[in-house]
Chain A
């Protein structure tokens, strides 16, 4: 079953006089439970594509259907709801709230979806335990190592049972060994049934995925298909 259907998507930035074509007509289908890497050099449009897939941005033209919903027609608040329920983000710079402990950071998506306190805490604790941080619940980000921080953000991405985990250069700020550990975590999650999209420019990282899509100059250059 198709999770993502992208049809002829363009994204044009209006820079006053000039127009910047970040995406020039992209088609992409992603099935449920895929593990896919989107690759491309900087300026290729891969970040723009990731933002659109993550519903942080909307395409200038084209259709995007996520899990059966017409995302390209939604307004800001509807997109916020989609991000909350359907997508779990993992960022290169972790993007945790610095003043909140791990538990609260992981709780946050549940707060925005209106889950009761007792259930929130239980689910956040479960998610943190799943990523191996059962003993770090009350630690703030600055009391954790880079790998631990990224695990917190993975737990945050998982906690609302999204249909898609979207990781943007998840190992970019980690040493090789920790990076491998995080990639192992993604592998595990994929085996448990999660759909994972990783955006990266590193071949070594992309190799972990089952399918590699390369982007250049706002278009798909190659698609390996599912290995």
Chain B
């Protein structure tokens, strides 16, 4: 018997059987519906978190090294870090003089202050002191105006760039360029507005900041702060090479004896990524366990209902066998029925999950149900259909025609 003809016939049979027992089929597949909804929403949520992470991490720069006093995700005891010396402008200048591979670099130092404009004030603005090379090194795009020049940087001029949060707080319908704002009691002239960058993992805004020349920062707040020396490798491919070079120059200038560990951190984006991956793989595993649990419960429900269906249709199986249905044909008939029920459950599950994913996208975090999740959902329901249908179908297939014809 032709295989596709058989499948087609079996789909018609299972359609009739499902229609004849609408409520029962619906209840049986409820577990699969819930399971598939959970699996797809879970993946959609992870997709959303991934997207948020990717857009956040973009601000860190894939090809930038951050030479700092501490490692970002250091795992040693506090004792190990306690006696580290600050990073200073001398270290920066030594590094700049000696590095062959860095495309550009800049020092930066920061502190949260209150910023005022006229009678308005904004608390907790992050003030960054740096040089003109900051723009090139960290890739700052200007929405309006310009970055400060090398000369302004050297001279420690009272000029500043503001982020969009600051602009929105003070200058609703006014061009901020050329206006003066006050940081503490010191006046700064705005020469540029930076493009909106969004937030870091949704935790804090990257736009709530003001950038000023580093020498002005030192003048106002003193030099007793550890710097971050930001080094652009130019290309992710050169990152490791640059990292090695920077590390050895830093060890030299900080006089770290051979064999001793670095007394500074060379940080990079991948540190975030590694930590993030560890975290999300844990979430993924737990999610998978929970969602597969609901699928297994659903599968048991389907298997149960299929056993009932086979028992009820013992006579029908006898008739079909008498007329010439082979074992395989009967096996396929019930397997197809179970698969059809599960597929319907899967499709309903996807149908429920899709609008929910749109709601998540609109109100919680930007995301979209990826196509592969839809494919996965269909595939999982297919698989569970075969899995839960197999034993009932096998029971049906090996029934004795004489006995099953006699069954009432």
Q: B1 contacts A114, CB within 8 Å?
A: yes
- Expressed in whole angstroms, the Cα–Cα distance for A83 and B325 within the complex equals 9
Selected from A77, A95, A99, A112, the residue in CB contact (under 8 A) with B327 is A77
Q: A111-B9, A112-B329 are contacts. A56–B402 as well, Cβ < 8 Å?
A: yes
A54 contact set on B, CB distance < 8 A = 322
Q: How far is the CA of A108 from the CA of B5 in the complex (A)?
A: 12
B2 and A89 within 8 A (CB): no
The stretch from B67-75, B152-160, B247-255, B313-321 touching chain A is B313-321
* Contact of B1 with A113 in the complex, beta carbons under 8 Å: yes
CB <8 Å contact, A109 and B323: yes
Q: Does B273 contact A (CB under 8 A)?
A: no
Known: A99-B16, A99-B20, A114-B2. A109 touches B316 (CB 8 A): no
With an 8 A cutoff between CB atoms, is A194 at the interface? no
A144 at the binding interface (Cβ < 8 Å): no
B residues 312-351 in Cβ contact with A at 8 Å: 315-316, 318-329
Whether B319 contacts A80 by the Cβ 8 Å rule is no
Instruction: State the Cβ distance, A76 to closest chain B Cβ, in Å.
Output: 6
In A62-116, the 8 Å CB interface with B consists of 76-77, 80-81, 83-85, 89, 91, 95-97, 99-100, 108-109, 111-114
List A residues 103-138 near B (Cβ within 8 Å).
108-109, 111-114, 117
In the complex, which range does the number of interface residues on chain B fall in?
A: 20 to 34
Among B1, B322, B325, the residue within 8 A (CB) of A95 is B322
| Contact A83 B402, CB 8 Å, known A99-B16, A111-B5 | no
Q: Does A5 contact B (CB under 8 A)?
A: no
Interface residue from A57, A80, A100 paired with B324 (Cβ < 8 Å)? A80
Contacting pair B324 A77 (CB below 8 A): no
A108, B1: Cβ atoms closer than 8 Å: no
Chain B residues closer than 8 Å to A113, beta-carbon distance: 1, 324
Residue of A nearest to B404 (CB): A56
Q: Does A151 make an interface contact (CB < 8 A)?
A: no
**Cα(A81)–Cα(B1), bound, Å:** 10
Q: Is A51 an interface residue when CB atoms closer than 8 A count as contact? A: yes
Residues of B contacting A46 with CB < 8 Å? none
Which residues from 368 to 408 on chain B have a C-beta closer than 8 Å to any C-beta of chain A? 401-402, 405
Cβ of A156 within 8 Å of any chain B Cβ, yes or no, is yes
Choose among A84, A96, A160 the residue with the greatest number of B CB atoms under 10 Å from its CB: A84
Residues of B within 8 A of A51 (CB): 402
Q: Which of B316, B326, B329, B401 contacts A97 (CB 8 A)?
A: B316
Contact of B325 among A100, A112, A114, A117 (CB under 8 A): A112
Give A100's nearest chain B residue, CB to CB. B16
Q: Is the CB of B323 within 8 A of A84?
A: yes
Interface string of B276-306 (1 = CB under 8 A from A): 0000000000000000000000000000000
B324–A83 CB distance below 8 A? yes
Determine whether the beta carbon of A109 is less than 8 Å from that of B20.
Answer: no
Interchain CA distance A134-B318 in the complex, whole Å: 27
Interface size on A, residues (CB 8 A): 27
Shortest CB–CB separation between residue B193 and chain A, in angstroms? 72
A96 contact set on B, CB distance < 8 A: 319
Chain B residues within an 8 Å CB radius of A156: 323
A100 to chain B: which residues have CB within 8 Å?
Answer: 16
For residue B401, give the distance in angstroms from its CB to the closest CB of chain A.
Answer: 5
Do residues B323 and A112 form an inter-chain contact, with CB atoms below 8 A? yes
- Residues from chain B with Cβ under 8 Å of A114 in the complex: 1-2, 5
Identify which of residues 151-183 in chain A touch chain B, using a CB-to-CB cut-off of 8 Å: 156, 160
Task: Tell whether, in the assembled complex, residue A77 and residue B320 are in contact, meaning their CB atoms are under 8 Å apart.
Answer: no
B319 and A109 form a contact (CB under 8 A): no
Which residue of chain B has the shortest Cβ distance to A111 in the bound complex? B9
Which residue of the partner chain A has the closest CB to B322? A89
Q: 8 Å CB contacts to A: which residues of B1-58? A: 1-2, 5, 9, 16-17, 20
B204 to chain A, nearest CB (A): 65
A91 and B408 alpha carbons, distance in the complex (Å): 14
Q: Which residues of B contact A99 (CB under 8 A)?
A: 16-17, 20
Question: Is the Cβ of A97 less than 8 Å from the Cβ of B5?
Answer: no
By the criterion CB–CB under 8 Å, are A84 and B324 in contact?
A: yes
Residue of B nearest to A84 (CB): B324
**Chain B residues with CB under 8 A of A56:** 321-322, 401-402, 405
Assess the B319–A97 pair: CB atoms within 8 A. Answer: yes
Question: A114 vs B20: C-alpha distance in the bound complex, in angstroms?
Answer: 27
Interface set, chain B 260-281, CB cutoff 8 A to A: none
Taking CB atoms, residues of chain B closer than 8 Å to A111 are 1, 5, 9
Docked complex Cα distance between A51 and B320 (Å)? 15
Q: B405: which A residues are within 8 A, CB to CB?
A: 56, 91, 95
* A-contact 0/1 string along B176-202, CB 8 Å cutoff: 000000000000000000000000000
**Contacts A57-B402, A99-B16, A111-B9; is A76 near B327 (CB within 8 Å)?**
yes
Q: Which residues of A contact B2 (CB under 8 A)?
A: 114
Could you tell me the distance between the alpha carbons of A51 and B107 in the complex, rounded to whole angstroms? 96
B238 vs chain A, min Cβ distance (A)? 67
Task: Return chain A residues, CB-CB under 8 Å to B321.
Answer: 56, 80, 83
With known contacts A95-B315, A112-B1, A89–B327 Cβ distance under 8 A: no
User: Interface on B for A, CB 8 Å cutoff?
Assistant: 1-2, 5, 9, 16-17, 20, 315-316, 318-329, 401-402, 405
- Nearest first, the 3 closest Cβ-Cβ pairs linking A and B are A84-B324, A112-B324, A114-B1
Known: A76-B326, A89-B323. 10 other contacts (CB 8 A): A57-B401, A57-B402, A77-B326, A83-B321, A91-B405, A95-B405, A97-B316, A99-B16, A111-B1, A112-B324
Listed by A's residue number, 23 A-B pairs whose Cβ atoms lie within 8 Å are A56-B401, A76-B326, A77-B328, A80-B321, A81-B324, A83-B324, A95-B318, A95-B405, A96-B319, A97-B319, A99-B17, A99-B20, A108-B320, A111-B5, A111-B9, A112-B323, A112-B325, A112-B326, A113-B324, A114-B1, A114-B2, A156-B323, A160-B324
